[in-house]
């Protein structure tokens, strides 16, 4: 299943439940607050999410457009979709590299960068940026963002993240440290 980085831009708190939509909603296991980052994947039954819970752990749950009592949280489907706003709608900036435009995100902490196979590639330094074309995340590590370039701290040049025969890699977004605009390692303008 494909995973994507999203920001709750709905203006509402999203209750997250433990159960699969086709089986049982289960219990509310957490809340994704306005402007908070999370990872989602569409399943045939609904929206699966990975989010940082109140204990600081990244956990799996399910997003519904209703509260614990089954009441609609949103007045329209368009309003509900703002809860799944793509990170590339709110980049730090954009950059053109080799004639192709990329979305950039800045880092407030050093974070590990990996090749497509999961081997260590290096780090992105605090204050530096990464560049990507999509909001895609990793399959086996949903909290790792697919990236194409890292900006070097030594000279400000963009370096391609390659390895394992791929022209992309992944970076830990720091969801294990925080998920709000002021606490997550990788940030944009949300």
pLDDT tens-digit series, residues 134-152: 999 999 999 999 999 999 9
| Gap between the Cα atoms of 89 and 190, Å rounded | 9
> Which residue carries 């390895």 as its tokens?
163
Q: Where are the alpha helices (DSSP H) in 10-127?
A: 77-81
d(CA 92, CA 175): 17
Q: Hunting for tokens 């289960």 — which residue is that? A: 26
Q: What DSSP string runs through 79-118?
A: HHHGGGEEGGGS-SEEEEETTEEEEEEEESS-EEEEETTS
CB 130 within 8 A of CB 151: yes
- Pairing state between β 100-107 and 186-187: antiparallel
Q: Are the CB atoms for 126 and 107 separated by under 8 Å?
A: yes
The reported pTM is 0.93
The pLDDT tens digits for 38-73 are: 999 977 667 899 999 999 999 999 988 887 788 888
Contacts of 157 (CB under 8 A, 6+ apart): 151
Stated length of the chain? 190
CB atoms within 10 A of CB 47: 19
Cβ neighbourhood burial of 108 (10 Å; 0-12, 13-18, 19+):
middle
- Below-70 pLDDT ranges, the chain: 21-23, 44-45
Looking at residue 66, what is its pLDDT?
Answer: 82
Q: What are the beta bridge partners of residue 138?
A: none
Sign of CA dihedral 161, 133, 2, 48: positive
């Amino acid at each position: 299943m494909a995973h994507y980085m999203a920001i709750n831009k709905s203006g509402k708190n999203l209750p997250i439940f433990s159960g699969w939509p086709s089986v049982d909603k289960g219990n509310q296991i957490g809340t994704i607050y306005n402007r908070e980052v999370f990872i989602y994947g569409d399943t045939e039954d609904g929206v699966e999410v990975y989010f940082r819970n109140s204990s600081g752990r990244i956990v799996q749950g399910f997003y519904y457009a209703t509260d614990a009592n089954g009441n609609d949280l949103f007045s329209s489907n368009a309003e509900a979709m703002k809860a799944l706003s793509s990170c590339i709608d709110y980049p730090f900036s954009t950059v053109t590299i080799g004639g192709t435009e990329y979305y950039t995100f800045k880092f407030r902490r050093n974070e590990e960068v990996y090749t497509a196979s999961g081997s260590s590639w290096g780090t992105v330094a605090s204050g530096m940026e990464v560049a990507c074309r999509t909001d895609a995340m990793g399959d086996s590590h949903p909290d790792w963002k697919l990236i194409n370039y890292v900006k070097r701290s030594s000279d400000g040049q963009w370096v391609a993240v390659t390895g394992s025969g791929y022209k992309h890699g992944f970076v830990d977004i720091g969801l294990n440290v925080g998920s709000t605009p002021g606490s997550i390692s990788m940030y944009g303008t949300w």
